[in-house]
Chain A
Amino acid sequence: MSEAEAIDRAKQGDAVCFELLYGLHKRRVYSLCLRMTGNTAEAEDLTQEAFLQLYRKIATFRGESAFSTWLHRLAVNVVLMHLRKKGLPEVSLEETMEPQQEDGPRKDIGARDNVLAGSIDRVNLERAIESLPPGYRIIFVLHDIEGYEHNEIAEMMGCSIGNSKSQLHKARMKLRDLLKTSRAEKAAKR
C-alpha cells in the first residue's frame, strides 16, 4: 500500500492505516521533539501528542504540501505550544542584532585558534546542540537541521525575522565554543 492510499484510508478512520503512518513517520517526529526539547520523556510525550493531533486532524490534510511537511509542521507547533505553556524562553521579542556581552561574537576578536573543519563528529554535535540554551536550540534545530527559513520560524515563534537570524547566529557561536572546548578536553586527555 502506498503512503497516499494509507493517508486516504486513515482519513476515513482506518486505524490500521494510521498505525502504518505512525510507523513511517515516528522516527522523524520523535527526533525533532528530542532535539527541540533535549529531554527523552518530554520528547515521547510530545510525539504522542503530535500523533494524537494527527489522528484528529488528518481529515483536514488537503495535499497542498507533502504529508511529511504537513505533519512536521504540526509536530513543531505541538512542541512550541508545550514550551510556551512551560514558560521556557524561546526568543526574546525585545532582542536586537546587537551582540550580547556574555556570548556575542566579540570574544573571538584577536584570538586565532584552529578551525573546526574535519573535527566534528555526529555524536559531538548532537551533544553540543543538547547543551544549548532552549531559545538558541529551538532556532538552530528549526533552521539548520530541519531547514525552515527565517520567515517561517518568525511566523511560528511570533518574533521578527531579524530576531530569528540573531538567535541563530548566537546559537552557532555558542556551538562553536562548545565544540572547541570539547575538542580541547579530548586533546588534554590524550
Chain B
Amino acid sequence: MNCAEFQKVLPYIIESGGNAEEEAHLRECDVCSDLVQDLRYIAEQAKLLLPMHDPSPKVWDGIQENLQREGLAKPARARGRLLGFPSLPSLSIFLLLFAAAAVGFGLLK
C-alpha cells in the first residue's frame, strides 16, 4: 500500500481503525503517521473547547420584547425584568421608605 491509497481511505481509518495492511503502512510511513497523529490531535483539542462567550444583554432584551409583542409575557415594569420580581432600585426605595416610616413611628411612640 502506498501513501495515496492510504490517504484515500483515511476518513474511515480515523473513525474505526484500519486493516492489517493499512496499519502496517501507518507503522512504516512517517508522513502518514504524522498526518494521522495531527488529525487525532485536532479532534482531541476540539473536545476541550468550552463555551466561552456570553451573549450581550440586548439578546435578553430582544427576547422580552418579542414575548411581550406576542402576548406571551406581561410588559415589564422596569428595564431588564420580565415580570414578577420588582427591580433592584424600586426595591431599595421601598425598603428605605419602610425604614424611615419605622424610625418615624418609633420616635412618635
Contact = CB atoms under 8 A, between A and B. Distances in A.
Contact of A125 (B45, B59, B66, B84): B45
B96 interface: no
B108 interface: no
B97 interface: no
B54 A26 contact: yes
Contacts, number: 137
Contact of A52 (B11, B50, B66): B66
Interface string A16-60: 101100100011101110100000000110011001100110000
Contact of B7 (A26, A34, A106, A112): A106
Interface residues of A, number: 54
Contact of A27 (B10, B43, B48, B54): B54
A48 B51 contact: no
Interface of A: 13-16, 18-19, 22, 26-28, 30-32, 34, 43-44, 47-48, 51-52, 55-56, 97-99, 105-106, 108-113, 115-117, 120, 122, 125-126, 129, 140, 144-145, 147, 165-166, 168-169, 172-173, 175-176, 179
